[in-house]
Structure 1
Amino acid sequence: MKLPNKVSSLMKVTAVGSMVAASITTTALIGKEKTAIGSEKVEKPIKDEFTSPKEKPNIVYIVLDDAGFSDLGSYGSEIKTPNMDQLASDGLRYNNFHANPMCSPTRASLLTGRNHHSVGMGSVANFDLGPESHTQARIKPEAATSAEILKENGFSTFAVTKWHAAPLHEITPAGPFDNWPLGQGFERFYGFLESHTDQFAPELVYDNHMVEPPEKEDYHISVDFVDHAIQFVTDQVSVTPDKPFHLYLGFGATHSPIQVPEEYINMYKGVYDKGWDEIRKERFERQKEMGIIPQDTEFIPRDPEIKAWDSLSKEEQELYARFQEAYAGFMTHTDDQIGRFISRLKEMGELDNTMIVLVSDNGASRESSNGSISFLNYINGNPTETKDLIAVKDKIGGPEVRAAYPLGWAQVSSTPFKNYKQSLHNGGTRVPLIIHWPEGINEENRGEIRTQYHHVIDITPTVLDIIDVEVPETYQGIKQMPMHGTSMTYSFENSDVPTTRIRQYYSIYGSRAIVDGDWKAVTYHKQGEPYENDKWELYRMNDFTESNNLAEKYPDKIKELEKLWYEEAEKYDALPYEFETSQVRGYINPKAVNNRNQFAYYQGMEHIGTYAAPKIQNRSYTIMATIDRKEKKTDGVLVAHGDHLSGYTLYIKDDKLVYEYNLLGTVYKMVSKEKVPVGESTIQFEFQKTGNLQGKAFLMINGKQVGEVEMPKTFKATLAEEGLDIGRDMLRPVSPDYGKGKDFKFSGKINKVEYHLMND
């Protein structure tokens, strides 16, 4: 059996830790004794394929966010995903493919082919611990991305995506832009830079500047993303048809907020009334029937944190069913957008010669045990009460709620595995992978399942293998680290050939795991405890659901694998342990634009991301604005940070100065006792910290106190998902009292808005 000509002569295995790949044919792999990657070198065959760029396939990465292993129809779900399922039917599905357990590390590894600590993404891009750290929240220049390498080899490069691979304190209209997509090899970009955004009112960036969402009544970001992806590709194919393209299409779905048009939620009315226990069993049995999991896979018990569905009240069941109806609708809506993109490729005659890699960035999210109205409830350790969720049940999935589903449905998404995102068991790392490439995958192999163990660092090496491009020794004068991944092309033809990936380490927040051949060891670290006290678990790799911990039976193997983990961690810059969340959550890189106590903003400044705004949490501070009102009806927002669910705003309405602080539904509000005068005046808000996360606030006009309020509780972590505006409130309004005018823009003149932060 041979692969199509464009692939058969390109079979080689990229050596882990070596710049030069060993080139071997699929035939040579079959029946060969399994050896360490790169241990045998075969002379590289002379190639005559791909002599000009037009003969190279287009490369498309499609990334889902927080989608669990079982969430696609082709992986056992009842959720309707016909377009992704068609890609699986016409391509290959992998059931032993792994990502890193959180999104920024996975995205960095996907784009570079290297391990996430090595390239500077030891955690999510929220945390930037500085240039000497492996948690820099950015991709090091020593690790050129797929876009940079492919652009140098004749490809056009586009990103329409969630990025989350640049320090969040850099999300400002003044940059710096080096770590944004255009600074990482992409020629065009449309998307958002943070971990998530409102699906109906997103914080958008076009190339290197902030933009507002299109004013459409039925706007949704997933539709907008595919509109732009289609536009970018159509422009490319129309003007330079001989040039291949590389597109990174990454959706906000299905990360919270779970938001989707109501008609998609209605598609699933009643489907989830039977509850998470029954749905998980059904998915498990369907997976066995499909062959996506082995027939002898053990069905693991319900997570002890999750209540039995039958033990819930009728009101609770109706509430939780609504969460999953919205989640399923969200996934189907995303599938429809992927279908639109695929249809466009087909119309232009580009589908057959486009390699599509579809993957999730980590396992299902466990970031809300009971379901929540906002992701910030999780970040701030402020779970939403069930009664409050029931009160907004019919709004879940819509624009007024930034929903995150409860843990019971996360375990369904993880079927058949245990644990979730941020975990090093399979529920956190084993994700769906579909590869679709009609010209590169023989017809007789299409629709098959591949069981070889592989990792997200193997995707870009596979692409370079296919287009016959070596990793550059230098890029823009900077010496490049080798690829850590290995090509997967050998698996396109044969399901039985042994994997070429023998070993992979994992590390997140001090917890660790390692895969070595037939074995996997994993340990979870409790912050503040000595690492030598961590207890390791041991599993055979053929134990699909990691049901049988063999640590007590094979203590010597545990010691061997723990030693091996340290060797791999040293090799890939995962040491020393530097990330204890409690120690770094409030850390700001000294070079960050908001690592200072004095700020002066001017009217007309574009939107600033929430992590780039002044850090006012748990400290005394003053906001002072000098303004000019020409007449009594001059009103509007002076400063606003946040949205309808959290944040603060200072505005003038009906001649009065108003301040509101929304702590996830608890609102502190002051309205001035006196009117704001016409003409020039100085407006001041002052917060005096009186204890941990508490204080007293004052309003002043021209130095005279005109308002006061006690604030017994304030945000301890991120105070808003939406960022900072001066002279307007661009997206979701912080206050419902603004009225119907768009963004309640201040109609007078703001000379300056100053922040003065104290170090108490």
Structure 2
Amino acid sequence: MTVDRAARSVLPIPDRPAPGLTTYDAKDPETSYPPITPLRPPEGAPNVLVILLDDVGFGASSAFGGPCATPNAERLAANGLKYNRFHTTALCAPTRAALLSGRNHHSVGMGSITETATSAPGNSSLRPNTKAPLAMTLKLNGYSTAQFGKCHEVPVWQSSPMGPFDAWPSAGGGFETFYGFIGGEDNQWDPALYDGTTPVEPPATPEEGYHLTEDLADHASTWIRTQKALMPDKPFFVYFAPGATHAPHHVPKEWADKYAGKFAGGWDALREQTFARQKELGVIPADAELTPRNAEIPAWDDMPEELKPVLEREMEVYAGFLEHTDHQVGRVLDTVEDLGILDNTLIFYIIGDNGASAEGTLNGAFNEMANFNGMAALETPEFLLSKMDEFGSPSSYNHYAVGWAWAMDTPFQWTKQVASHWGGTRNGTIVHWPERITDKGGLRSQFTHCIDVAPTVLEAAGLPEPTFVNGVQQSPIEGTSMIYSFDAADEPERHELQYFEMFGNRGIYFKGWSAVTKHRTPWNLLGGTVPAFDDDVWELYDGSTDYSQARDLSAEQPDRLHALQRLWLIEAVKYNVVPLDDRTAERISPQLAGRPVLVQGNSQLLYPGMGRLSENSVINLKNRSFSVTAELEIPDGGASGVVVAQGGRFGGWALYLVDGVARFTYNVLGIQLFTTEAGEPVPAGTRQVRAEFAYDGGGLAKGGNLTLYYDGREVGSGRIAVTQPMVFSADETTDVGYEAGTPVSPDYTTATSRFTGRIRWVQLDAGLDDNDHFIDDDERLRVAMARQ
């Protein structure tokens, strides 16, 4: 390998053949060319496996004193290092974007999740090409790269089957292989999957024993074995990021049943028990204090007695889900060990991309979409009790109560989204690399952050930080390699300064001290009053003597607090954190937020075979009148199946035929179904079937009247009493001629949903009147041309 190729500061490494003698005849004895050598990293570069769990608090895993058994995390920790001051950003997409780039989340445009992106640089969800991802750097240096699981970093207007795919893992992300899902969460029983950029269906059904985390472990293990069978001398970089344990908390019943009765004492008692175990294990200092429960979190004793069995079951399901997830991680680890490569594989096991999630309401949820739509009141205690045995099953989309999330973040204050306090940002992390780490079972307490992973991997591989990638000059990596900490527990920390911010919750860490302010409460997703930023109350903590942020010193040391506040502002300007943005409804609206929308206007034409269209790929039909019109070819014997459907079992709508008769079902959160049926079959031949919804108006989530038409002739009508105002689903899609995922209506299944006639086209119209209830060819052409 030449010096130029070994330098590796410009990627791809330029091909610069040395000039020399060129002979006329290859048989000439003077003919000489060096052999072709495949690109490889420097000698000794390890395999790299980064495991990132989802929504797991510091106090959840048994490896860090929690109640949920994670034997594989313990197995790695016994032969590696535990880091008890490793930090994330307090939210999933920002943590992932930061981890995979080595830059702060606002630096790569991911100030929050992609669904709330704005036109501000720090919140655009667009990673600048001056900040190439780690996987790209490793691939261009000769690593094999693969990602399995969740990718929540694709801008929402780029998440359709047409891309563009620049931000998708297997295109611009640098991963040669991707198998998983695009978005914040997915149904573990019926996921919306991609193989690269191609939509694929799960290989089995829930009834056949399918579960997404198991499927991801299967694919990861198969890929690793194949890679080592075909390229044994080439190291790999595998990013294993299951959607577990993000809601919905889905797990086979036997895993949840392991924990039956173990949480009867409630969340206050659970925190006390976890805190005691953490001290016994030594994963927190002996002088650490257990932070008190904030008044916004109800005491267990104050919860209604009749609700407590449901609350217990919520936690049992979650605990089973986390143990099940750790078991699947163990299967991937077994693959690495069976291949004899465990010793030279650098493994990061990051137990959570933020603190535990408090997005499940004070009572928890059977369908978390109720809270996201501001309709949690529909899930009454009586309703939750009636569904208790279904929690975790394919018929649920469940989440646990806020109190359990708080308990899972023991010993810290607050939860996911609260970037100010360690409950939102401190995640137990294990590093395992037997060839390099000699302090087996050691503990490391240096301050570390998810942006430190990328520079650690580059140093471990002997690779320089690139100055140019794909012709673009790169900005410096902002993280600090952790390798210095491998050799000595008492080595002074090198990552001394770090800002935090999420939805106005903000903090700064500097040389042991932290200044923080909580601005808004995670479970108040809609409405509510938040203070002006300048009115937020800041707290001050001395990390050298107060591990858990239990003793606020702001009154005793105001000068130090003010200095740290100024330092936060300096860092915020440096990394595109300002302007601060605590808006909610405005950021959900693309027009107000300033991000692009894939679909313009109030009409959209769809065609047969189109599917896997995310909610951002379809015009918004919520809180307004709309119509769905389809031109169909009906055979003589009639037709059945789905014409078009949006959403699924936990919220959505569908126009479909049953035994030749048209039906329209509007499903509200899986709790209320409103079905309108035509009074006669659709006649054979080319016909228009139309559903018109006349919205009552007067606010969000109102009802309206639904009327069905054949060729402009009314054939049925009904009433939809209430609608979903904000979102149908986080993972279900719009499909034409069939329905992927879960069905909107129990009148059909996914397997029986395929339409047996022929669909020529489907048109969606929002807020428009068509008094003849029919779309002629000129009208359809006008819609099509308006979209060019």
Deviates more, 1:367-376 or 1:187-196: 367-376
Equivalent residue for 1:450, pick from 444, 451, 463: 444
Note closer, same or farther for the CA distance 1:379–1:143 as it changes in structure 2 (3 Å cut): same
Map of 1:161-176 to 2, 5 A cutoff? 161-176=149-164
Contact map agreement 1:370 1:407 (CA 8 A) in 2: yes
Structure 1 residue matching 2:515: 3-state secondary structure: strand
Say whether 1:125 aligns with 2:114: yes
Identity between Structure 1 and Structure 2 (%): 38
- Counterpart code for 1:488: M
Q: Which amino acid aligns with 2:353?
A: D
> Residue 157 in 1 paired to residue 159 in 2?
no
| Distance in 2 separating the partners of 1:554 and 1:698 | 68
Deviations along 1:464-507, one digit per CA (max 9) or x if unpaired, are: 11112122112111121111111111111111111101111111
1:412 is displaced (CA, Å) by 1.5
1:672 to 674, 678, 692: 678
Q: Distance in 2 between matches of 1:540 and 1:213?
A: 50
User: Which stretch of structure 1 is more off in the superposition, 379-388 or 287-296?
Assistant: 379-388
Q: How far off its partner does 1:530 sit?
A: 3.3
Deviation at 1:518, TM superposition (A): 2.5
Question: Which of 524, 528, 531 is residue 518 of structure 2 equivalent to?
Answer: 524
CA deviations over 1:311-337 (Å, ceiling 9, x no partner): 445542221111111111111111111
For 2:630 and 2:708, how far apart are their aligned partners in 1?
12
Alignment of 1:472-621 (within 5 A): 472-525=466-519, 529-542=531-544, 543-578=546-581, 580-587=583-590, 591-621=596-626
3-state SS, counterpart of residue 170 of structure 2? helix
1:6 is matched with which residue? none
Q: What TM-score does the superposition give when structure 2 sets the normalisation length?
A: 0.87
Matching of residues 436-447 of structure 1 within 5 Å: 436-442=432-438, 445-447=439-441
2:384 is matched with: 389
Distance 2:72 2:557 in 1: 45
Which residue among 348, 354, 361 is the counterpart of 1:362?
Answer: 354
The CA deviation at 1:450 is: 0.7
Q: In structure 1, how many angstroms separate the alpha carbons of the residues matched to 2:108 and 2:472? A: 14
Corresponding position: 1:140 with 2:128: yes
Q: Is the 8 A contact 1:635 1:654 kept in 2?
A: yes
RMSD (CA atoms): 2.0
**Does the 8 A contact of 2:42 with 2:463 survive in 1?**
no
Q: Runs of 5+ in structure 1 lacking a partner?
A: 1-17, 20-49
User: In structure 2, how many angstroms separate the alpha carbons of the residues matched to 1:631 and 1:336?
Assistant: 54
Q: State the SS of the aligned residue for 1:458.
A: helix
Name the stretch that deviates more: 748-757 or 673-682: 673-682
Pairs within 5 Å for 1:123-522? 123-130=112-119, 133-183=121-171, 184-216=173-205, 217-312=208-303, 314-359=305-350, 360-368=352-360, 369-383=362-376, 384-423=379-418, 424-442=420-438, 445-522=439-516
More moved, 693-702 vs 281-290? 693-702
Is the contact between residue 503 and residue 515 of structure 1 (CA under 8 Å) also seen in structure 2?
Answer: yes
Instruction: Answer whether contact 1:142 1:481 (CA < 8 A) is retained.
Output: yes
Query: In the TM superposition, what whole-angstrom CA distance separates every residue of 1:509-537 from its partner, at most 9, and x where no partner exists?
Result: 12221111122111233666432222211
* Shift of residue 168, structure 1, vs aligned partner: 2.7
Deviations 1:439-469 (A, max 9, x none): 1101xx1111111111111111111111121
Distance (Å, rounded) in 2 between the aligned partners of 1:700 and 1:544: 67
TM-score normalised according to structure 1 size: 0.90
Instruction: Output the amino acid matched with 1:561.
Output: L
> Cα 1:751–1:91, aligned 2, differ >3 Å: closer, same or farther?
same
Query: Residues 361-399 of structure 1: CA distance to partner in whole angstroms, max 9, x if unpaired?
Result: 000000012110122122112222221111010111111
- Relative to structure 2, which stretch is displaced further, 551-560 or 424-433? 551-560
- For the 8 Å contact 1:169–1:609, the answer to whether it is kept is no
Partners in 2 of 1:350 and 1:54 — Cα distance? 15
CA contact (8 A) 1:637 1:729 kept: yes
C-alpha deviations, 1:733-753, integer Å up to 9, x for none? 110112x57141110000001
Partners in 2 of 1:294 and 1:394 — Cα distance?
40
How far apart, in 2, do the equivalents of 1:262 and 1:283 lie? 24
Letter of the 2:202 partner, please give it.
P
Deviations 1:548-569 (A, max 9, x none): 2222222222221121111101
Q: Counterpart of 1:723 in structure 2: which amino acid?
A: T
- Cross-structure match for 2:98: 109
Shift of 1:654: 2.5
Q: In terms of mean alpha carbon deviation, does 496-505 or 104-113 score higher?
A: 496-505
Q: Give the paired residue count.
A: 709
- C-alpha distance in 1 between matches for 2:69 and 2:191: 26
| Residue aligning to 1:698 | 707
Q: 1:729 touches 1:743 (CA, 8 Å); kept in 2?
A: no
Q: Tell me the equivalent position of 1:748.
A: 757
Q: Does the 8 A contact of 1:276 with 1:412 survive in 2?
A: yes
| Contact 1:127–1:167 under 8 Å retained in 2 | no
Cross-structure match for 1:639? 644
Supply the distance in 1 between the matched residues of 2:626 and 2:304 (Cα, whole angstroms): 46
CA contact (8 A) 1:53 1:243 kept: no
Aligned residue in 2 for 1:84: 73
Partners of 1:632 and 1:55 in 2: CA distance: 69
Quickly say closer, same or farther: Cα 1:257–1:643, change in 2 above 3 A. Answer: same
In 1, the alpha carbon distance for the partners of 2:327 and 2:184 equals 23
Cα distance in 1 for residues equivalent to 2:125 and 2:246: 20
Q: CA deviation at 1:426?
A: 0.8
Residues 609 and 735 in structure 2, CA contact (< 8 A), matched pair in contact too = no
Contact 2:741–2:750 under 8 Å retained in 1: no
Following superposition, the deviation at residue 51 of structure 1 comes to 9.1
- Which segment drifts farther, 67-76 or 510-519? 510-519
Equivalence for 1:3: none
Correspondent of 1:55 among 35, 44, 57: 44
CA distance in 2, matches of 1:747, 1:594: 29
**Cα distance between partner residues in 2 of 1:264 and 1:590:** 42
Report the equivalent of 2:633. Answer: 628
Q: Which residue of 2 aligns with 1:650?
A: 655
Q: Is the 8 A contact 1:521 1:537 kept in 2?
A: yes
**Residue 54 (structure 1) shift:** 5.5
**2:449 and 2:585 mapped to 1: Cα distance?**
29
Shift of 1:305: 3.7
Letter in 2 for 1:416: P
Q: Give a deviation string over 1:692-713, Cα, whole Å, max 9, x none.
A: 2234332221112223334453
